[in-house]
Amino acid sequence: MHLFPTQPSSVVDIGAGSGRDAAALARCGHQVVAVEPTSELRREGQRLHGALPIEWVDDHLPALNVLRRAKRQFDIVLLTAVWMHLDPQEREAAMEAIAELVADNGRVFLSLRHGPIPEGRRMFGVSADETLRLAAGHGLRCIHQAEREDMLGRTDISWSFLALGRLPASG
C-alpha cells in the first residue's frame, strides 16, 4: 500500500470480483473502473457498492478488448489473485494488454498464488521471475517484490506481490 498514490488517481481493478478492492479505492477518492467478466459477480458488486462511483466493465483477460479499443489508460492497474488463472500463452498476451493500459509513470500491482491447485479449478503455476521477465519485455520494471504466507493460514499456500512501474515514453 505504501506504493499507492495518495492523490486521486485513475485505477482499473482487473478481475474485480464483487468489488472489495474497487470499493476501498473508490472510498479513498480514486476514479475506479472494475473489470469483471462474470456477470453474477459484476451484479453482486454493483449491488454491494452501488453508492460508490465505480464504473463496472464486462471485459476479460487476456485481451481486455473493451478497454483497449477505448484506448483507456490508468495510473494504477490492479490484478489481485487472477494471474494464476492464465496459462503461459495467455499470460504473454495479457501482459501486452496490461502494458497498453498503464499510463506513463503508472504502476501495476499483481498478487501471485503459489501452492497446490485445487481440484476442478483452472489454475496454473506461475512464478514471480517469469512475471517480471514478461513485464520487462513490455516496458514495465519491478519497483517492489514481496513474499508472504497465506492470509487464510493455509500452510501449503504462499503469495508473491509485485509492483511494476511504467517509465514515461521518451520523446
Residue 100 counted as domain residue? yes
Is residue 36 helix, strand or coil? coil
45 and 86 housed in the same domain: no
Task: Write the pLDDT tens digit of every residue in 9-31.
Answer: 999 999 999 999 999 999 999 99
82 and 141 housed in the same domain: yes
- Which residue matches cell numbers 453482486? 44
Q: What is residue 169's predicted lDDT score, i.e. its pLDDT? A: 66
82 and 47 housed in the same domain: no
Can you say whether residue 73 is alpha, beta or left, with left for phi > 0 and alpha for psi between -120 and 50 degrees? beta
93 and 120 housed in the same domain: yes
Its pTM stands at 0.93
Is residue 144 within a helix (H) or strand (E), and if so which, with residue range?
strand 140-149
Q: What is the band of 153 on the pLDDT scale with cuts at 50, 70, 90?
A: confident
Domains held by the chain: number: 2
Residue 171 has pLDDT above 50, yes or no: no
Q: Which grid cell sits at 128?
A: 514471480
Evaluate the omega torsion of the peptide bond into residue 62 and state whether it is cis, within 30 degrees of 0: yes
22 and 87 housed in the same domain: no
Please give the residue range of the domain that contains residue 41.
9-60
Question: Which residues touch 25 (CB under 8 Å, ≥6 apart)?
Answer: 11, 13, 32, 76, 78
Measure the CA–CA gap between 21 and 1, rounded to whole angstroms. Answer: 12
CATH of the domain at 119: 3.40.50.150
93 and 154 housed in the same domain: yes
51 and 79 housed in the same domain: no
